[in-house]
Amino acid sequence: MPELSRRRALTAAAALATTAGASAVVASGAAADAGAAPVTPDTPGTPQAAGHEHGHHSPAPFDEVYKGRRIQGHPVAGGGHEHHGGGYAVFVDGTELHVMPNADGTWISVVSHYDPVPTPRAAARAAVDELQGARLVPFPAN
């Protein structure tokens, strides 16, 4: 039998973790189907109950100063192909911050693309935090 290498041990551990994770997801889905209470917009802990906007509802407009930077957001007409913000525009000090809604109702921006947040306002605040005082550079539209 070949000697157990670090690579083989890590591969086996990753496969085991993946299998265990998949089993947990399947088990939780089966438990939910077996009579768990349905999740509704008023169910505590759901994004809708926490004040997150989903579907065709546009988030409320905002205009505030956050950490010395003016952040603004408002719905825009259309939200079509030329505007990826799902019908919503966000600005940091007057420069548009490109935002995009995810399928799960969270939002991402060009500045914090891998850190989804619950609202466009939170995306603007996260961008200000990430910029650390630097100016937001306009992002060319395709």
Cα 29 from Cα 14, distance rounded (Å): 23
Is 30 a residue whose pLDDT tops 70?
Answer: no
Give the global pTM. Answer: 0.57
Sheet holding 62-66, edge to edge: 62-66, 69-75, 88-92, 95-97
Pick the CATH number of 62-131 from 3.40.50.300, 3.30.1880.10, 1.20.1510.10, 3.40.50.970: 3.30.1880.10
Is 77 a residue whose pLDDT tops 60?
Answer: yes
Q: pLDDT for 117-132, tens place per residue?
A: 999 999 999 999 999 9
Domain ranges of the chain: 62-131
